[in-house]
Amino acid sequence: MRLRIDLSYDGGAFHGWARQPGLRTVQGTLEDTLAMILRLPQERAPRVTVAGRTDTGVHALGQVCHLDIAQEILDSCIGHMNVSGVEALHRRLMHVLPDDIAIRSVSVAPQGFDARFSALDRTYVYRISDAGRPIDPRMRGFVLAIPEQLDCELMNQAARMTIGLHDFGSFATPNPGGTTIREVKHAHWDRIGAAALLPLASHDAGWRVPSIESGLVCFEIVADAFAHNMVRSLVNACVQVGRGRKSLDWFRHKMDEPVREGSTGPIAACGLTLEHVEYPQDDRLAARAEAIRAKRTLD
């Protein structure tokens, strides 16, 4: 059967998602843990397919992956528990995995589900503390500090140029045999106001508990898929515009002429989080996976 796993992780101590010899990665840690729980040698352990490979230091709140496993192997992890094999695997993963990986759910995947190819879109958020403001210590691993005040209006003018089907060759590198053509559905910068978690009336002294993101500058981008380093490079280009170091004409030229060069490299990984992966209704999963495997063009 095919299982869907929804998980979150703090990417700060991982060398990205993909397994690499001798390095700590999310995929390697998850697959090694599965092998131990299922009492399988490494060569027989289930391999996981992920919705989006995150780079070194990038975090995930709503990552999704799938694995294929025989029913008898799955049931072998039940032990003394009076639960299904799926629930037993979920419980054992939560117990054994390190604290920087959290398993949100394990479920039997619908027919035709592919964590990577069935996805409709992915949502990333990049978080910045600008103007030299101190970062909340609880957020220090998830926010980038910038000394300058950022101009969100200018950055949004740049971000709007990315919406639609484009070749993002100025901001990304293709996989072998692939392209840097992607469709961005939404891209927007917001300065988060001082929002309260609890209403004023609930506190006799009038103190309001602030949202943890109050004061941050956040970039939200949604696309059908992302090429390698695409989000962080787009963020870096927008930030250079927001700092006044580059012009909107420069950004427009990079969109019109998809050629990679030094000034459009990726910004620091720490501020980036994969927030959500969206999938179609169950009866459209297989068709979506088949369609997305085709090589993209601008036509």
Beta 59-68 vs 272-278: how paired, if at all?
Answer: parallel
- Identify whether the C-beta of residue 168 lies closer than 8 Å to the C-beta of residue 225: no
Annotated catalytic residue, options 6, 55, 114, 167:
55
What is the spatial distance between Cα 162 and Cα 172, in angstroms, rounded to a whole number? 13
What is the spatial distance between Cα 210 and Cα 185, in angstroms, rounded to a whole number? 31
Nearest Cα residue to 48 out of 4, 87, 14: 4
Strands of the chain, DSSP E: 2-9, 49-50, 59-68, 101-108, 121-129, 144-145, 164-167, 181-191, 217-223, 272-278
* Block residue for tokens 């695997």: 89
User: What is the token pair recorded at 196?
Assistant: 């309260």
User: What is the token pair recorded at 191?
Assistant: 């300065």
Long-range contacts of 148-152 (CB under 8 A, 24+ apart): 148/243, 148/244, 150/217, 150/239, 150/242, 150/243, 151/241, 151/242, 151/244, 152/189, 152/190, 152/191, 152/217, 152/242
What is the spatial distance between Cα 251 and Cα 245, in angstroms, rounded to a whole number? 11
User: What is the token pair recorded at 28?
Assistant: 């390697």
Residue type, 23: L
- Told to judge if 55 belongs to the known catalytic residues of this protein, a careful annotator would answer yes
Active site residues per annotation: 55
